[in-house]
Amino acid sequence: MATGEQNSSLTGDPTPLYIPTLDSVVNALSVVTSGASVTLDETAGLQNSTATPSPAGDADDNDILLASLPSTFSTRLTALGAGTAMGAALSGYTGAVGNTGSNAFSVTADPGATITNVSFVDSTGALLNGVDSGLDTLDGTSILLYTDTSNDNILVGRAGSASGAIVFAAYIEETGSPLSGGKIWTVEYQPLKHPDATNPDDAVNLLNKVFIGAGQDAEFSLANAPSGQQLFLMFTTAGATADANGRIPGVSIVVTGRDPLDQSASSAAITSADTV
């Protein structure tokens, strides 16, 4: 997911934000990373291309003032007892006047459908519930990942258990109307243990641990369905059209009777069982 750097003012090569997608190979619903990263540097003060234009290991950070955190995010963190934050970062943020960060990902619905939700999930698409981040606190305690049960746009990393102290948190700021993407905010409460203590810009991340999930709402109309007794009927979303290969992309449904005839096991007429 996001990248964190050690306390530093030296050069380094931090790993960029990485949000694997939960694309479907069957339909058009997709979540795609934009290339905008979010890197939080543990050094005191802001580290970004405006505040620290050199060296390169600091210029590519995305630190932002804690006061800039979205109220939905900060209010929920307060309710969770997160404590006093060390620093925050926003995807694509440069520190330049008027800069408000950039989308970390975009999301596209199937034809005729509308995106209704994005969330932090694991590799199976389920909300994170104790997944080991692979990161540790300074004393070696494993940091476990949890999607917030009150707001699935919020992710918290806790020390050791579901009741452990919050070490860091992340938030998806949804963008677009209708929803079409999101910026990612990160905030840190404790320094992280880094594998290379000799490199002040040593970076750690949540690669292959945290994913972005998306949900959509699609409506189907049974208008103009042929009359009679059919074994099944197929419907697509409104506005769906065939591609060059004659296939209709997007979400489709198949409607059958409650207990239809199994034609693989019987040569009886389909009307001998439930039809539509």
Do 242 and 196 fall within a single domain? Answer: no
The Cα 60–Cα 81 span in angstroms is 31
Do 125 and 208 fall within a single domain? Answer: yes
pTM (2 d.p.): 0.79
267 within domain boundaries: yes
48 within domain boundaries: yes
- Position 11 scores a pLDDT of 27
265 within domain boundaries: yes
Q: Which residues are registered as beta bridge partners of 253? A: 235
> Which range marks the domain in which residue 54 is found?
30-218
Do 102 and 237 fall within a single domain? Answer: no
Do 134 and 252 fall within a single domain? Answer: no
Measure the N-to-C terminal CA separation of the chain; round to a whole number of Å: 47
Strand bridging mode 166-175 / 154-159: antiparallel
Tell whether the model's pLDDT for residue 94 goes beyond 90: yes
DSSP 192: B
pLDDT digits (tens, 9 = 90+) for 210-265: 999 999 887 777 777 777 777 787 777 766 777 788 777 666 778 888 888 788 88
Single residue among 218, 233, 257 that ends a domain in this structure: 218
Total domain count, the chain: 2
Do 168 and 58 fall within a single domain? Answer: yes
Do 211 and 227 fall within a single domain? Answer: no
The Cα 106–Cα 181 span in angstroms is 4
pLDDT digits (tens, 9 = 90+) for 116-170: 999 999 999 999 999 999 999 999 999 999 999 999 999 999 999 999 999 999 9
229 within domain boundaries: yes
Percent of the chain with pLDDT over 90: 53
Do 64 and 184 fall within a single domain? Answer: yes
Single residue among 194, 218, 242 that ends a domain in this structure: 218
Do 124 and 256 fall within a single domain? Answer: no
Do 227 and 214 fall within a single domain? Answer: no
Strand bridging mode 3-5 / 39-41: parallel
- Position 2 scores a pLDDT of 58
- Position 16 scores a pLDDT of 30
Q: Mean pLDDT throughout 36-51?
A: 91
Q: What is the mean pLDDT of the chain?
A: 84
Residue carrying the six token digits 């506005």: 239
Do 210 and 171 fall within a single domain? Answer: yes
Do 85 and 205 fall within a single domain? Answer: yes
- Position 10 scores a pLDDT of 29
98 within domain boundaries: yes
- Position 239 scores a pLDDT of 67
23 within domain boundaries: no
Do 191 and 78 fall within a single domain? Answer: yes
